[in-house]
Amino acid sequence: MYAEAAAAKPQPIPAHLRRIADGAPGAEAAEALRAWRALRDAGHLLSANQLAEFVARGVLSFPALIDQAFNREFIDWVAGGGSTGEGYVGEDLRTAWPAGSLVPRLLAMPQVAGIIASLVGPSPRFDHVALHRVPAGRLLGQNWHADATIDPREDAFDLQLMYFPHDLPAEMGGTMLLPGSHLRMVHEISIARYQHFVGQMPTICPAGTIHVLHHGIWHRARGNATDRERLMFKIRLNPRWKQERLYAPGEHRSPEINGILTRTEPWMGVEGRLEVINRIRLWRHLTGDPQFDARMWMGRLESRPQARIHPASGPE
């Protein structure tokens, strides 16, 4: 995943970060810019194609991203009574936990920091955290829901990371996700009437996997049919910088990206084209390219020619 980013030709610093670094809001922005540059130069930022995948599906999966030694340490820490309940809502993420404790170590791993910086920028705001512990033999899962509430932002989003420190076989449940559902306007558990979707995605994955979610993704915890407790650490982050061109330098207009953005999910039915339009709108914001289009889905709607072939007085 990082080879592509590393191979990309270096591009100018995004204008908004440069402006921030040059003046208000001051030293904090300069520090953020330095952090973003370091991740860029080390090849840890997401590529434009990965960002397109996130815009289209609302989820990116990184199997076994975290090494086994850290996974083991995390599991043992929880078993020993450890709690991730540090920080408070709205705090700067950098100060939400004691330095050197497990959560900041996880988030500071270059590959994790690169994901975060690519999507919500460096030094995001801490929203909330949850350590989900599903007991062995709890067969009943949750209803489908989206977290928080209706969120009509079109040019910004929050990020949610799900970290699974142990192997997650099918019988252990995990989280069920609905790829592509993130741009739908629903309130929390108002979607409980649905039980199954064609194309739903169970998080069956190896230890150390991180799933990266748009805040609007529809999801639910599944039951746990094993004799072992299931762990999942989730954290929500808010952007503190404009989410424009935060990904690795690279071409954001390409046939491949058009293909990613226009590929619909099987559960969307006739509404697939509406989702494509909403994705293009988001892509325009994230790339800073208000003219971007894919297969003319926006160009058709925006075609309102003003030039006349007749004089203003009308046809002769």
Partner 1 sequence: MTTTPIPTDGHPGRRQRLLQLWLGHSDLHSGVVAWSSYDPALAGRPPDDLPTAPPYPTAMAALRDGWRLIQFSPAIPPAPGSEFRTSFLPNEVLLEKTEADHVR
The sheet with strand 201-202 has its strands ordered as: 201-202, 175-178, 218-221
Q: Which two tokens stand for residue 4?
A: 């592509």
Residue carrying structure tokens 């990266």: 212
The verdict on 173 binding partner 1 (CB under 8 A) reads yes
Nearest distance from residue 64's CB to partner 1, in Å?
22
DSSP letters spanning 249-284: S--S--HHHHHHHHPPPTT-GGGHHHHHHHHHHHHH
Q: Which of 104, 206, 223, 288 binds partner 1 (CB under 8 A)?
A: 223
Distance CA 36, CA 30 (A): 10
Q: Which of 23, 63, 266, 299 binds partner 1 (CB under 8 A)?
A: 266
* Of residues 43 and 216, the one with the C-beta less far from partner 1: 216
Nearest distance from residue 176's CB to partner 1, in Å?
9
Task: Tell me which stretch binds partner 1 (CB under 8 A): 23-31, 67-75, 227-235, 264-272.
Answer: 264-272
* Of residues 46 and 205, the one with the C-beta less far from partner 1: 205
Q: Which of 82, 104, 141, 169 binds partner 1 (CB under 8 A)?
A: 141
Closest to 133 in 3D by CA, of 66, 83, 183, 72: 83
Q: Which of 98, 194, 254, 256 binds partner 1 (CB under 8 A)?
A: 194
Phi, psi of 134 (to 5 degrees): -105, 115
Q: How many residues bind partner 1 (CB under 8 A)?
A: 30
Judged by CB under 8 A, the chain residues 8 through 47 that form the site for partner 1 are none
Distance CA 44, CA 135 (A): 36
The verdict on 156 binding partner 1 (CB under 8 A) reads no
The verdict on 202 binding partner 1 (CB under 8 A) reads yes
The verdict on 183 binding partner 1 (CB under 8 A) reads yes
Write each residue from 101 to 140 as x if it is in contact with partner 1 (CB under 8 A), else as -, in one continuous string. Answer: --------------------------------------xx
Residue 138 contacts residue 224 (beta carbons within 8 Å): yes
Nearest distance from residue 231's CB to partner 1, in Å?
18
* Of residues 6 and 204, the one with the C-beta less far from partner 1: 204
Distance CA 202, CA 222 (A): 9
Task: Tell me which stretch binds partner 1 (CB under 8 A): 11-19, 102-110, 179-187, 232-240.
Answer: 179-187
Distance CA 143, CA 71 (A): 28
Q: Which two tokens stand for residue 103?
A: 């959560």
| Dihedral sign from CA coordinates of 46, 48, 50, 54 | positive
Alpha-carbon distances of 135 from 36, 139, 167, rounded to whole Å: 39, 9, 15
The verdict on 98 binding partner 1 (CB under 8 A) reads no
Reported residue count of the chain is 316
Nearest distance from residue 243's CB to partner 1, in Å?
20
Q: Residues in the site for partner 1, rule: CB under 8 A?
A: 139-141, 170, 173, 183-186, 190-191, 193-198, 202, 222-223, 266-271, 274-275, 277-278
